[in-house]
Amino acid sequence: MAGMNYRHLFYFWVVAKEGGFARAAERLDMAIQTISAQVKVLEQELGHQLLKPAGRRVVLTEAGAAVLARAETIFQIGESIPEALAAVASGSVLRLAVGMSDGLSKPATHSLLAPVLGTSGLRLVCHEGETDELLADLALHRLDLVLACQPPLPGSNLRLTSDRILSSPVDWYGPRSMVKPSLVRSFPASLAELPVLLPTAHAALRGRIDRWFESNRIVPRVVGEFEDSALMSLFAAQGLGVFPVAAQGADALSISLGLRRLGRSDRLHEEIHAIRSQRGLQNPLVLQVLNAARGGDPAR
């Protein structure tokens, strides 16, 4: 719709976000009738009803939901323009917004981001959550990069690119008082003698751990399940049990939390996939992270 008026689209966007014409009018300091008339014009331009009454509020029609999803992208990008211009003008700010799926090893993700952490003027923004929610934010350009335990599901209508950038063997750590030398020597059989902490079932690593236990004929005594790997390591440090973590970057745990390595499961791997949109590849920091993970020149 080449002739669509984006001011009309903006009024619709505000009404949809506020849930009604009265609140939108208050936010914009305009008359309700003016906003309503502008939204009506947009509906006529598009040939679809976008809003329908629901008590004192309005709700989106199916067509309205489709339009809102695209309006979100348009106006969120618009809202980011002043910040981007200020950063360009000052020459001092490089922003990298990264989403991390629940359960990913925090030391491993830190090691993957390490090549950019010394960047002058870096502003690093990290979000953690469910992969589907993070991918939606990536598609809306709220994030530059998503690190996840698995690639997007086949058939997704999101235009995203994914690469596996880490496949690390898994180490098992626990409190020093619990990880005795005799248990280290008898690993992995010693896991049957210790309380075990595991990621929850929604993490891709959990399925691989369960199969690994079965293949080694180990029946673990699971005393805790965690969505957040950092929280899992903290509970382990307090004496609750031993837990798995990607070997990459895990050495820091012995220093920061006073943990000791029990052993390494060489045939058990944690994977991290880098997912990005085409727009994300325009961010030089994303390229630096990807190139470093692939063993290329981090500065390329």
How many domains are contained in the chain? Answer: 3
Task: Check whether residue 225 and residue 179 sit in a common domain.
Answer: yes
Among 47, 80, 113, the domain boundary falls at 80
pLDDT at position 1 is 47
pLDDT digits (tens, 9 = 90+) for 29-48: 888 898 999 999 999 988 89
Q: Does residue 299 surpass a pLDDT of 70?
A: no
Mean pLDDT, the chain, integer:
87
Task: Check whether residue 115 and residue 171 sit in a common domain.
Answer: no
Q: Which residues pair with 92 in a beta bridge?
A: none
Which tokens is 30 given?
Answer: 């305009």
The owner of tokens 């596996």 is: 164
pLDDT at position 113 is 94
Look at residue 298 and tell me if it is in a domain.
no
pLDDT at position 79 is 66
Look at residue 138 and tell me if it is in a domain.
yes
For strand 161-175 and strand 243-246, is the pairing parallel, antiparallel, or unpaired?
A: antiparallel
pLDDT at position 254 is 78
Task: Check whether residue 130 and residue 222 sit in a common domain.
Answer: no
Rg (CA), the chain: 25
Task: Check whether residue 200 and residue 239 sit in a common domain.
Answer: yes
Q: Which residues pair with 174 in a beta bridge?
A: 260
Task: Check whether residue 175 and residue 231 sit in a common domain.
Answer: yes
Q: 46-55, 85-94, 193-202: which has the highest mean pLDDT? A: 193-202
Which tokens is 15 given?
Answer: 């009404």
The region of weakest confidence among 90-99, 132-141, 259-268 is 90-99
Look at residue 1 and tell me if it is in a domain.
no
pLDDT at position 94 is 82
pLDDT band of 255, cuts 50, 70, 90? confident
- How confident is the model over 52-79, as a mean pLDDT? 84
CB 199 within 8 A of CB 227: yes
pLDDT band of 120, cuts 50, 70, 90? confident
pLDDT at position 5 is 78
Task: Check whether residue 50 and residue 184 sit in a common domain.
Answer: no
Task: Check whether residue 45 and residue 193 sit in a common domain.
Answer: no
Look at residue 189 and tell me if it is in a domain.
yes
Task: Check whether residue 229 and residue 245 sit in a common domain.
Answer: yes
Task: Check whether residue 279 and residue 264 sit in a common domain.
Answer: no
- How confident is the model over 224-237, as a mean pLDDT? 93
Task: Check whether residue 255 and residue 189 sit in a common domain.
Answer: yes
- Report how far residue 285's alpha carbon sits from residue 288's, in angstroms, rounded to the nearest whole number: 5
Look at residue 213 and tell me if it is in a domain.
yes
pLDDT at position 153 is 75
Look at residue 300 and tell me if it is in a domain.
no
pLDDT digits (tens, 9 = 90+) for 169-197: 999 999 999 999 999 999 999 999 999 99
Task: Check whether residue 154 and residue 187 sit in a common domain.
Answer: no
* 160 residue type, one letter: L
Instruction: Determine phi and psi for 217, rounding to 5 degrees.
Output: 55, 45
Instruction: Determine phi and psi for 33, rounding to 5 degrees.
Output: -60, -35
Q: 12-21, 27-36, 134-143, 261-270: which has the highest mean pLDDT? A: 261-270
Which DSSP state fits 281?
Answer: G
pLDDT band of 279, cuts 50, 70, 90? confident
The region of weakest confidence among 121-130, 172-181, 261-270 is 121-130
Q: What is the largest CA-CA distance in the chain?
A: 79
Among 80, 100, 125, the domain boundary falls at 80
pLDDT band of 83, cuts 50, 70, 90? low
The region of weakest confidence among 100-109, 132-141, 191-200, 215-224 is 132-141
Looking at residue 99, which CATH number applies to its domain? 3.40.190.10
Q: Does residue 238 surpass a pLDDT of 70?
A: yes
Among 33, 53, 80, the domain boundary falls at 80
Look at residue 71 and tell me if it is in a domain.
yes
End-to-end CA distance of the chain: 40
CB 266 within 8 A of CB 255: no
Q: Does residue 159 surpass a pLDDT of 80?
A: no
Q: Which domain holds residue 141?
A: 85-166+273-293
Instruction: Give which of 233, 239, 218, 124 is closest to 176, Cα–Cα.
Output: 239
Q: Is-above-0.75 flag for pTM? A: no
Task: Check whether residue 220 and residue 179 sit in a common domain.
Answer: yes
pLDDT at position 90 is 59
Look at residue 257 and tell me if it is in a domain.
yes
